[in-house]
Amino acid sequence: MSDPRRQQILVAANAIEVPPSSSVPASEAARITVAANLAHYGYGLSAQAFTALGGLGEAELAAWWADVELVLAEATGAEKKMEAFVVYKNFPSEVLAMSEVEYWSRQLCMYWGLPNELFAQPAQERPPRTDERAGELTFRVLHLADEKTLPAIRDGLFAKPTRWLEGQWHDVQFLVGALDEQVDLGALPFVENRIQLAAHLLERGARVSVSSATDVLRLAAALSGGDVSLREPTRLRKLTRRERRGLLALLERCPNLEEDLARRREPWKRLLQQLHPGDYRDQVPRVVAAYDKLYNAAPIATFNSELERLLAARDRDALTLLQTRPGEFARRLRMTLARFGPEAVTAFTRVLGELTVHQLLKLRGFLATIDERRWRTFPPRGNWSKVQIVDRATNEKVGEPKALADRLGEVVSGVIEAVTGRARRGAPAAGGAPTPRPRTETALQLRSATADVLGALDDELSRRLREVGPVALAPETARVKLPTNDDKLSPFGRGTVFPIPPNIQFVRTATYWKSGPTSRNLWYDNGWNFHDAEWAPLGVCAWNRERFHDAAVFSGDPTNSKDLEGRACQMLDLYLDKLVKRGVRYAVWTVLCYSRKTFADAEEVHAALQWGVEPERGKLFEPSRCQLSFPLRGDSLTKYVVYLDLARRELVYLDASLPARVTSAAANGKLLSRNLPAYLEYLASLPSVHDLFLHAPQDPRGMPVLYDDAQRALAHGQPAYVFRPTNPDSEFTPFDPTRLLG
């Protein structure tokens, strides 16, 4: 029998494990049945994997499928049975048949506590789908795993230059235990991942090492289940004597001890009070001395204070100081180029070799796009829900909106507008190029210096990627963005693009939540905002705007207090051609925590997006139609998940917790007009897979780097990068670009 946890990790990497067998092989009919079951979830097997499946006996095949089905149902969200918790089970026809007054009369009665069944029709048998042969379905192909697959997945996770997603962290813990090999923490380039794993190993009795005092503070936060990034304060748990001695020993060996303590005085005071360094005065004299200075608020010279002094004086020694910390130099490069010109270029190019490929790519994307942006965006400490946006043409901050009414007020205003036909006004256009500014001598110097740095970055990247060998790079890989630290939902990066096939007629999104038993209704609202080509708002479809003309419809607002486990689901359909006829260019999907309970406050919140040809056929939730499916977690109250560009027929992944009013998507049209164009400029600056491999030698006969392999079967054993493997005849060896980013 296969291990469901192993299979879950493998499936996420487009692989599958088939155990060896000595039984009498199962019948061809049994294997075909399993293949059909896989197709139900939107998956298929490569030819090699299907052949391996033929070696299993009937009982083994049944046991294998039982484990795999659990994994696929969880991956697609099918195990939640979302369709059972929608108000109107015969959606969308049941809602479309109601007048607005009828819809809201029923909805208000349900809010007042009357059983939903009094107002909704019993679920009717839905006609089967006939659109599978119309090119709607593209199966995700799973390739046969071997003994190298799991170690390769682990090594890719170790090499990740950005923060692990929650699911990836669970994978790391499993793989470290399952593979039972010595862990080299030095193989983890990203410090937060390294510290998180170090804390895990320390709890298992392993010895660990760190490179700075700040890492010890992170380690203490990790041991206490707190924020390893140190962005949020952590309530430290009571440490054991062994842990206190271990942390103090690590601190004693750290360079720049006093400076690191001065950078975060209050967190260090709380930690050192717990560690009691005075009890070990002879063993950790440096820690005791630093603690005394910290406790007595003695002035401590720091890197930042010295750097700020030199920059204020326009002293070129600032460049020498910055060379000691190349990462900080990269963060301050734009300012130093403006201040010191060619000298800053020379100083920075001397330390390019100490930056990672990922840092070089991000810096290149920033420098290559900064002069073309209209807006500058400043998320304080990475918090996009509090982002500040400045118009570069005027150097003025864009204003904040006013608050709106609560949910009942929104219901009433929606009914009034439906009855009176009062039109909603749109916001002024948000697009357009920045007003040209005169090119001063400083501006021309900055432009010239920036061009020189871009040339140096290209040279350094080409040198680093020469060892990859020639690659056959498909231009479509520009759609795939590399991950960032702010990613929360999926392993691919924000800004990744998914083309919508020409035959697709509708998009269906769902939010499902489970709060546990509750006497009060909770809502995690599914909504879409519609905008024209200039990002002016045209309308919305959400819980209190149940239709957008004939182009979008909502499934009814559930009341989860009536379910013993507090379960509920909202679905919403978009009809793409009808949206275009209504002048819609952009549609933005949001999930809002109306009840001001964060995603983390619920037992479970899940989001899924399907698309298809026939909205009235098939089940309300069809796993094979599902394109995106993921849990929503964290302390945010908002999530902008994706947007559609209907002119280009593209779905673009956002994963953004931008500012929003949680009362309804109807409250956020003007906010989106203000924020999203600026956010999309930021996304455009993020590096893609294409940006990475563009610096490797190019040759049509080289290693394939593809968005998908639908038109090209790759040879057995051939190394290749394929973002969406869809060809069952391909048998390539996956190449993980993460290994190049460190």
Q: Do 479 and 496 meet the contact criterion of CB atoms below 8 Å apart? A: yes
**Cis? peptide before 436, omega within 30° of 0:** no
Find tokens 């003695």 and name the residue: 298
* Residue 609 pLDDT: 97
Instruction: Convert the pLDDT of each residue in 256-311 to its tens digit.
Output: 888 888 888 889 999 999 899 988 899 999 999 988 888 887 777 788 889 999 99
* Residue 428 pLDDT: 34
Q: Do 561 and 585 meet the contact criterion of CB atoms below 8 Å apart? A: no
For residue 203, give Cα distances in angstroms to 198, 207, 586.
9, 10, 49
* Residue 438 pLDDT: 46
* Residue 2 pLDDT: 60
Sequence-ordered strand ranges (E) for 477-595: 497-499, 506-514, 524-531, 537-541, 547-548, 552-554, 567-575, 586-593
Find tokens 């950005």 and name the residue: 162
State how far the Cα of 338 lies from the Cα of 318, in Å rounded to an integer.
Answer: 14
Main-chain dihedrals φ then ψ at residue 206, nearest 5 degrees: -80, 160
* Residue 393 pLDDT: 75
Instruction: Convert the pLDDT of each residue in 410-424 to its tens digit.
Output: 443 443 344 333 333
State how far the Cα of 430 lies from the Cα of 577, in Å rounded to an integer.
Answer: 24
* Residue 414 pLDDT: 45
State how far the Cα of 215 lies from the Cα of 186, in Å rounded to an integer.
Answer: 13
For residue 97, give Cα distances in angstroms to 90, 155, 259, 421, 513.
11, 55, 69, 19, 27
Q: Which pair of structure tokens corresponds to residue 193?
A: 């991942």
State how far the Cα of 570 lies from the Cα of 87, in Å rounded to an integer.
Answer: 8
Is the CA virtual torsion 114, 116, 120, 122 positive or negative? negative
State how far the Cα of 134 lies from the Cα of 130, in Å rounded to an integer.
Answer: 8
State how far the Cα of 18 lies from the Cα of 217, in Å rounded to an integer.
Answer: 44
Main-chain dihedrals φ then ψ at residue 36, nearest 5 degrees: -65, -40
Question: Going by DSSP bridges, is the β-strand pair 552-554/547-548 parallel, antiparallel, or unpaired?
Answer: antiparallel
* Residue 398 pLDDT: 66
Q: Which pair of structure tokens corresponds to residue 355?
A: 């930056």
Find tokens 């995700």 and name the residue: 140
Main-chain dihedrals φ then ψ at residue 714, nearest 5 degrees: -90, 145
Q: Do 120 and 601 meet the contact criterion of CB atoms below 8 Å apart? A: no
The conformational region for residue 217 under phi > 0 = left, psi -120 to 50 = alpha, else beta, is alpha
* Residue 405 pLDDT: 32
Q: State which H helix or E strand residue 396 sits in.
A: strand 396-397
* Residue 131 pLDDT: 64
Distance from chain centroid for Cα 661 = 21
Which residues share a beta bridge with 528?
541, 589
Neighbours of 396 (CB within 10 A): 10
Kindly give the parts of the chain with pLDDT less than 70: 1-2, 22, 131-137, 398-441
| Mean pLDDT value across the chain | 88
State how far the Cα of 516 lies from the Cα of 323, in Å rounded to an integer.
Answer: 54
Question: What 3-state class would DSSP assign to 13?
Answer: coil
